Amino acid sequence: MSNRVTIYDTTLRDGSQTEGISFTVNDKLKIVEKLDQLGVHYIECGWPGSNPKDREIFKLVQNKKLKTAKIAAFGSTRRARIRPEEDTNLKELIRSKAPTVTIFGKTWDLHVTDVIKTTLDENLSMIRDSVEFLKKRKREVFYDAEHFFDGYKSNPDYALRTLLSAQEAKADCIILCDTNGGTLPQDVRRIVAEVKKNISVPLGIHTHNDLDMAVANSIAAVEEGCSQVQGTFNGLGERCGNADLGTIIGILHTKMGRKAIPETQLKNLTDISYFLSEISNVKLADNHPFTGHSAFAHKGGVHIDAVIKNPLAYEHIRPETVGNHRRFITSELAGKMPIVIKAQQMNIAMDKKSKEAKKLLKDLQLKEHSGYQFEAADASFELFMKRSLKQYQPFFKLEGFKVSTEKRFDGRIFAEASIRLSIHGKEKFSAAEGDGPVDALDLALRQALTEVYPGLKDMHLTDYKVRVLDTNEGTAARVRVLIESQDHHDSWTTVGVHENIIEASWEALTDSIEYKLLKDSKK
């Protein structure tokens, strides 16, 4: 058995079917470049017969000089009772000039009789004719056996006959699809093993995540001999999504010793996860395996102590292997260790018994007592440390700001913010309109800073949370604002606390900007 597993990415098609996602042509081109850099073997750019946007991407991608990836076009078998030469979909696949074509066909007898409403024999001919048509035109042809596992459970003899039709027509790979996402790993193992006895063509696996088992099912299929894995990065896809290629690649390389992408590119898994999160505007879950912000975060004092002594105590791999990093979360549960560790990262000698550590812990506890929550605001904690240890030089100084909100006769809420800053001794004024006062402040602040700090264009706010801390105080209560921000490489959270929600938001907002500028200054 070959040690190599071929990665087939369908983020641009299956991933674009995620609710709320609509990739532009330019987005798709950027994703193609990123996936090619990572070392993905196949990039499915879309269905050229379905819409003008996908036709355009195939025209543009022809001019791209890719290092590792092959471009694939997706479509279906010919329609019932017509010749393949007359089928518009098949002609569009050829017209796309993609060197690889993936077509899907029906393997579940229910779909043949109840959905496309044709005979079982005609469906076999549709598969055979379509593969032959594409092979005669010098295309590499992958056959996606749609609903294969459900079809096999219903009628194993017929499901196998559909695969044999594709094999007889010289398909280069046959992909077994769990289209409804309802198959369990033990069934995947059993069925793939049975198929292997009858099919000599290389097999692939394409799973959906409706049982939260798409990754487990993909790994089970690989263990039973499938050599191609199809999926999307970050598990994007319709309904509950597709198999997450980032997690699968991480497992293949770090747990199974199987080659999927170049070893030198493994460290870029976290980077591509955040890139896809940015471009799709879908937040990457903090607890996402391998690449999430909290994937290697430690909070309990016992855990932190153990990881310092030996990271293997609470980490299954080194975070750097996949481009992530270890984090020690600051809270009353963690004691002085996160303070000492953060100081060491700042090249400041400090131990738990030092006066500085004791003072910092006391100051930290006082801030948390007043409502700050550094456990959920790692970026604000780093800035707190640098300011306390006088290791921080502000990137700008606030001279003043004004925010106004107006409700107009048509019901629209209108917010405007004006801000005056000092940047390197030079005064800068800016004003902006926003959907709300915080949005207006954010836009005005960026507008004032971007000319001097262009890297701010790469970041945006991904979440904004407000919590009332003193419910008995009514409208005079203190509020805690948490702001999560993200760029192409990372995400971070900042906190602000005040009786005035605008001031609390300003504190969290400026910490977020300052942290981004601090990160960029280290490059």
Write out pLDDT tens, residues 359-387: 887 787 788 778 887 766 888 988 988 88
Backbone angles phi, psi at 54, to 5 degrees: -70, -35
What is this structure's pTM? 0.76
Helices 269-280 and 245-254 cross at an angle (nearest 10°) of 180
Identify the burial level of 90 via C-beta atoms within 10 angstroms of its C-beta, where 0-12 means exposed, 13-18 middle and 19 or more buried: buried
Residue 341 has a pLDDT of 73
Q: Which two tokens stand for residue 322?
A: 């996949």
Residue 310, both tokens: 């030996």
Domains in the chain: how many in total? 1
Q: Using the structure block, give the residue that is written with the tokens 């518009």.
A: 88
Task: Find all residues with CB under 8 Å of 130, minimum gap 6, and list them.
Answer: 76, 77, 78, 84, 87, 90, 103, 105, 169
What's the pLDDT score for residue 326?
86
CA atoms within 13 A on the CB side of 82: 10
Which CATH number belongs to the domain containing residue 152 in this structure? 3.20.20.70
What SS3 state is found at 233? helix
Query: Do 232 and 206 form a contact (C-beta atoms < 8 A)?
Result: no
Domain membership flag for residue 59: yes
Cross-strand bridge partners of residue 74:
102
Q: pLDDT (tens digit, 9 = 90+) per residue, 11-63? A: 999 999 999 999 999 899 999 999 999 999 999 999 997 888 899 999 999 98
Of 2, 56, 49, 21, the C-alpha closest to 226 is 2
Q: What is the pLDDT of residue 412?
A: 81
Look at residue 50 in the predicted model and tell me its pLDDT: 80
pLDDT at 343: 75
Report which of 108, 102, 245 is spatially closest to residue 178, judged by C-alpha positions: 108
Angle of helix 25-38 relative to helix 269-280, nearest 10 degrees?
Answer: 170
Structural domain for 84, as ranges: 6-261
What is the Cα–Cα distance from 179 to 45, expressed in whole angstroms?
19
Task: Say what the pLDDT of residue 328 is.
Answer: 77
Residue found under tokens 């002085």 = 336
How many CB atoms within 10 Å of residue 20? Answer: 7
User: Which of the residues in the chain have pLDDT under 50?
Assistant: 333
| Cβ(381)–Cβ(482) below 8 Å | no
Using alpha carbons only, what angle is made at residue 155 by residues 151 and 161, rounded to the nearest 5 degrees? 85
Q: Does a structural domain hold residue 435?
A: no
Residue given tokens 């602000």 in the structure block = 496
